[in-house]
Structures are given as C-alpha cells and as structure tokens.
Amino acid sequence: MKPSLVAGLCLLALAGTGRAVAPSSFAAGIAAGQRHDYGTAITLLTIALGRADLPAHQKAAALYERGVAYCETAQYNDAIADLSGAIRLEAGRAASWRERAKAYAGEGLFDQAIADETRAIKLAPNDPSLYAERALLDFDRNRGPDAIADLTASIGLAPRDANLRYLRGHTFRVTGEPARAVEDYSRALELDPGRRDAREERVAAYEDLGEYGKALDDLKAELRRIDDVQVRFLIGVAQWYLGRYSDAAASFAGLLRRAPQSGNFVLWFAIAKTGLGDRSFDELAQSAKAIDYRIWPGPIIALYLEKLTLTQLLALASTGTPQALVLQRCDVDFFVGEWELRPHPATAKALFRQAASACPPDFVLRHAASFELTRMH
C-alpha cells in the first residue's frame, strides 16, 4: 500500500509553486496511481520527471510513485531503478525501502528483499505490517524460526489482528508445531469467527495431532455456518479416521447424490465400505454408473471393479503434464494401497510410504497415507 501521507505532502508542495506544467503532470500522476490506473500514472509521472524544474522533493515522490506503479504491473527492474532513485534522494522514508523489497521479491531476489524490509523496520519499528512482510519473505526462504519471530513481534504491536494470528499458526503448522498452530488458529477465530481458512487449517492441525474428534467438531461447526461440498467431504474423511465407516460411507454417498460424476467421491465411498469389510463392490458399481473410466481418476475405479489391470492403470498414470503426473501418482499410491491393504499388507505399506512422502504437502491423501502407516505399526 502507498501511504496517504506521501500524496498529502506532494499536493501541499504543489500549492506552493507557480509552475504549471510539471506540477500538473505530477499531481495527475499521483492521483492516477491512487486510483490504481498504473499505466496512466507511469506516463504522467514520466512527463513530470522529464522536467528540469521539478523540485527535488517532488522528484523523490514521483520516483516513488512511479516505482510503485511499475511494481504493481510486474515491471520489477524498472521499479527497482525508480525506488533506488527515491531512496538516494530521501533515504529516511520507510515506504521506499518497503516497496523496493516487494520489487526485489518479484524478481526472486529474496535476500535483497529481506535486507530492504529490515531497513524499513529500523525506520518504522512500530509498523506491524513490516514485520509480517519480512516474515513472509523468511517463510519463502524456509527460515521458519525467523518468520515466527517476526510474526510474534508483529502480533505484539497488533494483538487483535486475526490475520497475523492465522499467519503464525500456518507457519507453526508447516514447521511441525501443530499444537502451537492450534492455539493461534483458535485466537484468530476468536477475533474473526468467519475466517474459514483458520478453521480449515485448525482441522488439519488437529489431524496432525491425531485429534480427529476435535477436527470433526470443527468441520460440523463450519457446516452449520455454510453448507459446502468440501466441508462435507472433509467430514467424511474425519469419520473414516475415527473408524466410523458407516457414517463415512453415508457422507460420501450423500456427496455422490450431489456430484455423481466425481471419481474422488466414488473412491472414498469404496474405501469406507472396505472399512466395513465389504469388498464385493456391488454398491461401488452402482455408485460409479456416471463415471467415465477414461477420465482420471476413473481408471482407479476401473481397477477396483476389475475392468482394468494394474499394469494398464500404471501406464495411464504415466501420461499427462508434470503436475498431473504428481497427482495421478499420489492417487495410485494411496488408493491402490487401500486395494492391497488386506490381501497384501506389505505391498500396501510400501505404497503408503510413497504417498506419504511424494504427495503434495497439503493433499488429503498424504495425511491419509501417514495415518494408515501409523495404524499398521
């Protein structure tokens, strides 16, 4: 964000000059930037900066505002050049260091970005957003403890900011401290009960702790707030974790009535039924009537129904974009692991290990595979 103080000072300076062309381009450029018309802002401020009679304090402000406009339009190198110029003219303005940090981050120059945020913090030590911004940069650099320290400082300055609590909770969870994550998510929800992201991540943190009953309670509370398919799906998964297979099967069956073409719901319905000892798959065949076995994850359902061999499935899972290959392999490892769990537990364990390490970090199947591994010990 661009502080309104900058524009106020600039317009104040404008009132005190008798020169018409440069100040009018300058003021109009500032106004264009404030209404997020960045292309116009860049054009007008370039005209203003081309005037030899532009006062030095207005030049610093124009470079800053044009640098912001360049940054907002992803022209990061130009932004860095302008903001560096603004800093040379007025090194004591925290906003210029902060904006240049954003431009450096846009170029992937995270160390330079962190250094600029640090300078901004020295100039404005009571601004909680600066610590939060540096925390996000630390997080991107896998510096979890530094990110937590900055978020803690930010929370100290703004203790009623729900977003800061959420961000620190997320950092705690990702760095392997789910209990502390739960504390922060809970505080975020006290401050802003409508924060769905905090509730969903608290569910994940409870699951990391093995507290599936609390996760289920959270999900049911969210469902009372808003009837959402994803929440209903996560309720079914939580019921499965708790060994409440009849409830889980009923949840997934309900979802299939809403979305009969969802192969994911069909597969979860199948493993809930296998939890009940039903491997006949008669109900699975009924639930899969609307499924196109050629469209992923249809081939896995075809395997369950013995319409496809494992060799054929693996061949199909090996085609697609790099991102699709990761997700398809994850599906294969988990759901084939479930297929093999009772007849060939050693094979299932190997597949679950693969899913637990190779599935994307926040993917439901990664945690489900880890759960199965824990249960098999």
Each residue's pLDDT tens digit, 129-159: 999 999 999 998 999 999 999 999 999 999 9
* Torsion sign over Cα 279, 280, 283, 285: positive
- For residue 377, what pLDDT is reported? 82
Residue 333: is its pLDDT beyond 50? yes
Instruction: Please tell me the distance from the alpha carbon of residue 227 to that of residue 217, in angstroms, as a whole number.
Output: 15
Percent of the chain residues topping a pLDDT of 90:
85
Residue 370 contacts residue 357 (beta carbons within 8 Å): no
- For residue 285, what pLDDT is reported? 86
Residue 148 contacts residue 132 (beta carbons within 8 Å): no
pLDDT mean over 27-56 = 94
Instruction: Please tell me the distance from the alpha carbon of residue 132 to that of residue 71, in angstroms, as a whole number.
Output: 19
Each residue's pLDDT tens digit, 188-221: 999 999 899 999 999 999 999 999 999 999 999 9
Structure tokens at 110: 């995270």
Can you tell me whether residue 323 is helix, strand or coil?
helix
Among 49, 131, 118, smallest CA distance to 89 is for 49
Instruction: Please tell me the distance from the alpha carbon of residue 264 to that of residue 167, in angstroms, as a whole number.
Output: 30
Each residue's pLDDT tens digit, 104-129: 999 999 999 999 999 999 999 999 99
Residue 226: is its pLDDT beyond 50? yes
Confidence class for position 14, pLDDT limits 50, 70, 90: very low
Q: Residue 317: in which H helix or E strand, if any?
A: helix 310-317
Residue 319 contacts residue 332 (beta carbons within 8 Å): no
- For residue 280, what pLDDT is reported? 66
Burial of 330 (0-12, 13-18, 19+ CB in 10 A): buried
Among 270, 247, 266, 246, smallest CA distance to 256 is for 266
Residue 93: is its pLDDT beyond 50? yes
Instruction: Please tell me the distance from the alpha carbon of residue 96 to that of residue 84, in angstroms, as a whole number.
Output: 8
Residue listed under structure tokens 């069909």: 266
**Averaged pLDDT of the chain:** 91
Confidence class for position 275, pLDDT limits 50, 70, 90: confident
Instruction: Please tell me the distance from the alpha carbon of residue 144 to that of residue 135, in angstroms, as a whole number.
Output: 8
Cβ neighbors of 85 (< 8 A, separation 6 or more) are: 60, 63, 67
Percent of the chain residues topping a pLDDT of 70:
93
pLDDT mean over 315-343 = 94
Report DSSP letters for 206-234, one per residue.
HHHTT-HHHHHHHHHHHHHH---HHHHHH
- For residue 13, what pLDDT is reported? 32
- For residue 277, what pLDDT is reported? 79
Residue listed under structure tokens 């079914």: 236
Cα end-to-end span (Å), the chain: 52
